[in-house]
Structure 1
Amino acid sequence: MGDDKPWALISEVGEQGLLEEAVDIMRQHFQIICHEDFLKNPQLHGPKIQAVFQWNACPAAEPSLLSFLPSLKVVSNGGVGIDHLDVPYINSLGVKVTNTPGVVSNATADIAMALLLASARTIVEGHKVSVDPTTRHLPQNLLGVEVTGSTLGIIGMGDIGYKIAQRSKGFDVKILYHNRRRRSVEDERAVGATYCKNVEDLLKESDFVVLAVNLSPETTGLISHRELSLMKPTATLVNISRGLVVDQDALVKALQSGVIRAAALDVTHPEPLPRDHPLLSLPNVLITPHVGTNTYATIRRMVQMMVDSALAAVKDQPVPNEVTVK
């Protein structure tokens, strides 16, 4: 019976790839081959592959790989962002592209709030003091900034941005947002958010600025020297979108010179940063390793959505969550 399952290519199983539990979900419907094994004999394995399951942009859907996959019907991407995929080129080969919208929103909004709170209340610094074997007394100068009653600016008010606003409402913050399209009056009222047509107004007024945009030519370098200079010197920048949305050289200078108070980042460019990158040594930076979607429940839902979309493509049925670029 297993021989009847279509074949799918993945990156690998384990720390650098997919969890075994996630691969088990795939194996219910597909015969799985890892990229390393595939490369041992691509001419043999290539014609069998009908689906590529991409996780953390791996395996890269580049012409050098796709040329070995004449039977490929779908590249199923784990996550919402598809900036690493040349969708028109892939579609020109008769191959569909899918992603996993919506399913990642809650976990990503949660990490945005976690970063904001941890940075504001110096959680990591406090932990280091608490576990340091040389600690004999607790410092009284480990001061953070108040979140309650502050002004939060959200740049990118899609599903994730809106969920950040929902969570923030419980902290009695003033919520400003900037988006390509204004949300409905009902949406704004539900979370108490005020629309800023100009991102400059949001930057000037906000104590915390959260970036929740997709990466695109328009958002690459969205926050650079000029934008950082508009922010309050007491403000914190939180980025849970993509590293390239922020000009990191400009961010380093702003943090070193006190143009802004702090930055909390779940994304950088590249990932991981070179070990000598100045962001890694600044005391007012908090960095997590792109773990916005990394919960067991979210990963299971993402993988199930990837499988459902890939199965539909393989069976020539209407494909849920297909990505098309106009």
Structure 2
Amino acid sequence: MTNKKKPTVYITRTLPDVVETRMRELFDAELNVDDRPRSRAELENAVARVDVLVPTVTDRIDAALIEAAGPQLKLIATFSNGTDHIDIEAASRRGITVTNTPNVLTEDTADMAMALILAVPRRLAEGARILTDRKGDWEGWSPTWMLGHRVGGKRLGIIGMGRIGTAVARRAKAFGLSIHYHNRNRVSLQTEEALEATYWDSLDQMLARVDIVSINCPSTPATYHLMSARRLALMRPGSYIVNTARGGVMDETALIKCIREGSIAGAGLDVFENEPLVNPKLLKLAHENKVVLLPHMSSATIESRIEMGEKVIINIRTYFDGHRPPDRVLPGRN
């Protein structure tokens, strides 16, 4: 990029120092120093004047915002794996390229899914809260106190056997869980054999037969409320459900009702339908130790954030060097 005008880049949130420093070296980058979510007016102002927009999953880049962009906006390089917050079709109509940061969050997200798979049946959050609420003053060990459920030997049903779902399956198998999965397409025979995994082409049939469900599918119109009231009702009494994918895959109102009625034993959620807002009824269930709630932190490692930033930088540099960015997102594939 020597002797070329640096592209103007607008970054909507604070990124790791090493990423921001490199962006300032390579581009005319406008940082978000105080990490305050950008307002709609600020986003509209940015797309009207910059060459590159670097949003995150919390920014809504809809058709109206894209139509407000000036002719100089050539690239939306989102700092995220998912792209459901961007209207890819609208961007394509305007000749704006969209890129993402795939294949970075797999292991971290799978770690968190496995952590919730362990935490919910074993009552880990409840146990920790007992000590902190009582300031360390507890009655001591008892044979029948804080009894949870063993995860080894249970059946785990994975919804979405992509990279993350497969990574969850590897971890779960090591903990002695029996792997079952539902996916649009069956995985390879080698993968099935390595994981000793059972494929179900019917999600309904799988849900009725497993003890723990892990949601690992992408957010698309087809997966919105995939776990509907009808499907949640198919789960076995005493079963658990974990979601580290997207909040919209779960019908939260139906889930709350099932847990209240006892038809599902509990849930571990890292994502919510109306983030950053969390349903007060879910918070109440958490206080009653019936669910474990986390603030969308499954991918929150410094390693993943730096790798994501590096991908954003590569996509921007590749585009302005006149080549096709490696992580281009095409319409109909988000």
What's the TM-score, normalizing by structure 1? 0.91
**What per-residue deviation string (whole Å, max 9, x for no partner) do you get for residues 174-210 of structure 1?**
1000000001111111111110111112111111100
Separation (CA, whole Å) in 1 of partners of 2:179 and 2:40: 50
Equivalence map 1:182-261=2 (5 Å): 182-261=186-265
Separation (CA, whole Å) in 1 of partners of 2:43 and 2:234: 55
Equivalence map 1:263-274=2 (5 Å): 263-274=267-278
Separation (CA, whole Å) in 2 of partners of 1:173 and 1:66: 49
Pairs aligned (count)? 320
SS of the residue aligned with 1:260? coil
Q: Does 1:300 align with 2:303?
A: no
Change (3 A) 1:71 1:187: same
Q: Does 1:319 align with 2:319?
A: no
CA RMSD of aligned residues (A): 2.4
Match of 1:309 among 302, 315, 319: 315
> Offset at 1:123?
1.0
> Offset at 1:103?
1.0
Contact preservation (8 Å) 1:74, 1:314? no
Aligned twin of 1:281: 284
Amino acid in the other structure paired with 2:228: S
What's the TM-score, normalizing by structure 2? 0.89
> Offset at 1:109?
0.6
Aligned twin of 2:128: 127
Separation (CA, whole Å) in 1 of partners of 2:225 and 2:48: 40
Aligned twin of 1:102: 103
Change (3 A) 1:249 1:95: same
Separation (CA, whole Å) in 1 of partners of 2:43 and 2:197: 56
Aligned twin of 2:35: none
Separation (CA, whole Å) in 2 of partners of 1:197 and 1:118: 29
Separation (CA, whole Å) in 1 of partners of 2:149 and 2:183: 27
Higher mean displacement: 217-226 or 1-10: 1-10
Aligned twin of 2:114: 113
Aligned twin of 1:90: 91
> Offset at 1:2?
10
Contact preservation (8 Å) 2:92, 2:331? no
Separation (CA, whole Å) in 2 of partners of 1:304 and 1:92: 27
Change (3 A) 1:34 1:202: same
Separation (CA, whole Å) in 1 of partners of 2:104 and 2:220: 21
SS of the residue aligned with 2:221? coil
Contact preservation (8 Å) 1:51, 1:75? yes
**What per-residue deviation string (whole Å, max 9, x for no partner) do you get for residues 99-141 of structure 1?**
1111111111111011111112111111112232272313642
SS of the residue aligned with 2:57? coil
> Offset at 1:74?
1.0
> Offset at 1:171?
1.1
Separation (CA, whole Å) in 2 of partners of 1:42 and 1:60: 10
Contact preservation (8 Å) 1:61, 1:85? yes
Contact preservation (8 Å) 1:222, 1:245? yes
Separation (CA, whole Å) in 2 of partners of 1:56 and 1:126: 33
SS of the residue aligned with 1:205? coil
Separation (CA, whole Å) in 2 of partners of 1:25 and 1:209: 41
Aligned twin of 1:137: 139
Q: Does 1:24 align with 2:26?
A: no
Change (3 A) 1:261 1:315: same
Q: Identity, % of aligned pairs?
A: 32
Contact preservation (8 Å) 2:107, 2:167? yes
Change (3 A) 1:215 1:120: same
Aligned twin of 1:72: 73
